[in-house]
Amino acid sequence: MKAWIKILPVIGVAAMSAGVLAGCGDGEAETSTPSTAASAGASAPAKGPVTISMMMPFYSTEAPKNNPIIRKLEEMTNTKLNITWVPDAAYKDKLSVSLASGDLPQVTVISHLDGVIYAPAVVSGVQSGAFWEIGPMLKDFPNLSTKLNKDVLRNASHNGKNYALYRPRVLARGGIIFRKDWLDNLGMKEPKTLDELYEVIKAFTLNDPDKNGKNDTYGLVSRKGFADLHMLAGFFGAGNDYEERNGKLVPSFISDEHLNALKFFKKLYDEKLVNADFAVTEGSQSKALLEGGKAGVMISTALDDAPLNDAAIKKTNPKAAFDVISRIQGPKGERIMASPGYNGIFMFPKSSVKTESQMREILGLFDKMFEKDIANLLAWGIEGTHYHLEDGLVTGTEQELALRTADRMPIPQLSVVSDEIPTLKAKETPLAGKVKQMFADNISIAVSNPALSIQSQTMTEKSGELDKIKNDARLKYILGEIDDAGWKKEIDKWMKAGGEKGMEELNAEYAKLNK
């Protein structure tokens, strides 16, 4: 296997208040072109602000206006950012329409369409030359060429070529969030193996861990989407969506390891150790059960939620305490499913970025984001407004923290700066510090998806149908509607519906990349 498939290097994490937000934004929606030409590397001095149009999703109730951090970013980079903010719920449809019509701004966030970044419409655009290939230009920018994670760039590439910059996200982010006070009440130790994890979940259900004399707790709280099952399958030794066997990619869900994880989950369901309505439980509902003292364990893809869970539950129960673990000994040792290292990508359509000099001006903006003062701005906001320093560490009054939370919400949508880059660091709770260190330590056991940077036309076109077959089969198995033989039949159904052809296409591309 080529070196790029290796476990990815660390993508750091800033203090929890900065790292968990992924929100909305600012700016007026209008189309414009850069006003100056840029040379390779550092852009030539501009006579006036370079105007750049963008389209990005937002997650708050309203698209923010006059965001002070974005205004300061414009000032420090000599740019005018005309951002079209689209509600996240409508972004997929807006992106699809804009792709079809060719009406895209100069910087466009490509989020998941049909379950993949490189959906058919995007692939078609790449193949027809509608987007800039930026890979050859990156070497001319001092920060983009040295501070972007090369493996994550590869993950976000299209068949070995870079058409995109990525929005960085933590790599080894998963694990288990649990009630430490319940564990102490029952005289139990942190689970280190799958058997011990089962015993803790069982005790949290049956042994009155909150000592209220009632049988009213769930050991495990789960939610729809099977994200926690995916993490659990990693503990059992399954690959991350795909894995290599005998030089070829195979889908991990057909493996014995994945089936063993299903059997574990089914056992929890049969013994009523998990919420019975997990298949329709929203993330907000599972969070409410955890923070409301009704559940003791969550298998999580985002351990950085734990400090927030802990702060929330302490408002009503000061004696409550959450803790985290991530290293569970399974059949293949300790493993954590890796994220791609990004959440969405920036692409640059030639219909709105007319010349290479304009493309280089835009890359110049992203290159400047890594500069010390700008990186700190993106991480923490404006000193005196969003934070102040105590002993050289970022801290905040209640008012500063509230403003920081609101004003920073759009920033992860437009930043290419990973969390370890800012030089300012924050005061943090012991739990937040533990999570941060865990993210770094777990890089060595992170299991990557070897198929991230290659595409199959069949897989992208039929992803909805194929995912439905797979997820329906998982649910049927857990609920006892099918047995092992029925599970095998569902795998055959998936293969006949396009899975087999899709795997042939993926492996053809995989072979090309690994020559």
Question: Mean pLDDT for the chain?
Answer: 88
Share of the chain above pLDDT 70, in %: 90
> Residue 151 pLDDT > 50, yes or no?
yes
Distance between CA 465 and CA 114 in Å, rounded? 10
In Å, how far are 368, 370, 450 from 376, measured between CA atoms?
12, 9, 33
pLDDT score at 122: 85
pTM confidence score: 0.78
Distance between CA 19 and CA 285 in Å, rounded? 22
Share of the chain above pLDDT 90, in %: 72
> Residue 8 pLDDT > 90, yes or no?
no
Mean pLDDT, rounded, for 176-204: 97
pLDDT score at 348: 97
Q: Which of 366, 301, 365 is nearest to 336 (CA)?
A: 301
Instruction: Provide the strand spans (E) within 415-495.
Output: 446-447
Q: Give long-range contacts, CB 8 A cutoff, 24+ apart: 254-258.
A: 254/491, 257/233, 257/331, 257/332, 258/233
**pLDDT tens string 295-305:** 999 999 889 89
Q: How confident is the model at residue 460 (pLDDT cuts 50, 70, 90)?
A: confident
Q: How confident is the model at residue 515 (pLDDT cuts 50, 70, 90)?
A: confident
pLDDT score at 113: 61
Query: Can you read off the two tokens belonging to residue 456?
Result: 């199959």
CB neighbours of 384 closer than 8 A, spacing ≥ 6?
Answer: none
> Residue 291 pLDDT > 60, yes or no?
yes
Mean pLDDT, rounded, for 446-466: 88
Q: Which of 139, 236, 153 is nearest to 416 (CA)?
A: 153
Q: Which residues pair with 107 in a beta bridge?
A: 54
Burial group, residue 304, by CB count within 10 angstroms (0-12, 13-18, 19+): buried
Query: Can you read off the two tokens belonging to residue 393?
Result: 């560490």
> Residue 111 pLDDT > 90, yes or no?
no
Cα 269 to the center of its chain, rounded Å: 28
Q: 3-state class of 322 per DSSP?
A: strand
